[in-house]
Structure 1
Amino acid sequence: MTWFILLSLLTVGLLLVLTEILFVPGTTLVGIIGVLFTAGGIYYAFLKFDNQTGWIILLLAVLVNFSAIIYGFRSGVWSKFALKDAITGHAFEDRLQGLELGMEGKAVSDIKPIGKAEIGEKIYEVKSDSGLIRAGTKIYIHKLENNKIIIKA
């Protein structure tokens, strides 16, 4: 029974440390609990066995834990969890393409101060620089900045 308790404490400690490294890195709580379980197992070994056996168990526990940690880092497990792709697109990347200052259009909805306007053959979301503009009013592009179309009546 003594060996069962000892091996259980050391195994649970090792599994918690590996769980910290492989599945929940950065939280440290799981790793600390794992180290406490391992330390508890080593302390239990010193209580129940003679000093020589306690030191052997300490050496084996440290060796197994460090071996498992090194194996975890070198096995490439991190590459399975790591994000390898990057998002390179941007929202409304080509929204202002083909538009120029002074282009004319027509307000499709009331623009107070944001609404819809038809410029060319497309409908765009626009912002009024001159307050309320009623639907059907002729507008022109006053500014193009930060992916926004600012208009005046």
Structure 2
Amino acid sequence: MDWLILISLIVFGALLVMLEVIFVPGTTVVGILGLVFTALGIYHAFIHFSPVVGYGALAASGFINLGMIVYGFKSGVWDRFALKDTSSGGAYDDRLLGLEVGQVGETLSDCKPYGKIIIEDKIYEAKSQGGFIPAKTSITISKIENNKIIIKP
């Protein structure tokens, strides 16, 4: 029965280490549990068997766990998690197409200093240049910079 416990602890620990390296890399919880189970197996070997068996279990579990880690790195699992492409776009980059400085519109809400405006049947969010602008006020675009619309009454 002691042999079954020893082998079960070491194999289960090695499987958890393999699970950490191959399937859920980066969580460390599963890997730490694997090392704890392996350490419990080695402790069990030293308590219930001779020191030769204990050192053998230590060496065997070390080789098994090291083999699992090496296999995990060579299996290419990390390539699936690596970022290979770069993002060249941005959010709302083309939302201001067609707008020009000097265009006239109307505020839909109070601009204090940000609010909603309507220009040519399209709704935009804009910032007032001079502070508060009440709703239903005619406005003019004074600047378009950094994807922001700056308006004045």
TM normalised by structure 1 equals 0.79
Q: 1:118 to 1:9 in 2, by over 3 A?
A: same
SS of the counterpart of 1:62? helix
Deviation at 1:122, TM superposition (A): 4.6
Deviation at 1:10, TM superposition (A): 0.2
Identity %: 48
Structure 1 unaligned regions, length at least 5: none
Which residue pairs with 1:3 in the alignment? 3
Which residue pairs with 1:115 in the alignment? 116
Which residue pairs with 1:88 in the alignment? 88
Does the aligned pair in 1 maintain the 2:107–2:138 contact within 8 Å? no
CA RMSD of the aligned region, Å? 2.5
Paired amino acid for 1:2: D
d(CA) in 2 for partners of 1:24 and 1:63? 21
1:40-69 deviation per Cα after TM superposition (whole angstroms, max 9, x unaligned): 212222233333333222222111111111
Total equivalences in the alignment? 150
SS of the counterpart of 1:73? helix
Does the aligned pair in 1 maintain the 2:17–2:68 contact within 8 Å? no
SS of the counterpart of 2:142? strand
Deviation at 1:9, TM superposition (A): 0.6
Structure 2 unaligned regions, length at least 5: none
Aligned pairs for 1:94-109 (under 5 A) are 94-101=94-101, 103-107=102-106, 109=108
Q: 1:53 to 1:143 in 2, by over 3 A?
A: same
Aligned pairs for 1:1-153 (under 5 A) are 1-101=1-101, 103-107=102-106, 109-113=108-112, 114-119=115-120, 122-130=122-130, 131-135=132-136, 137-153=137-153
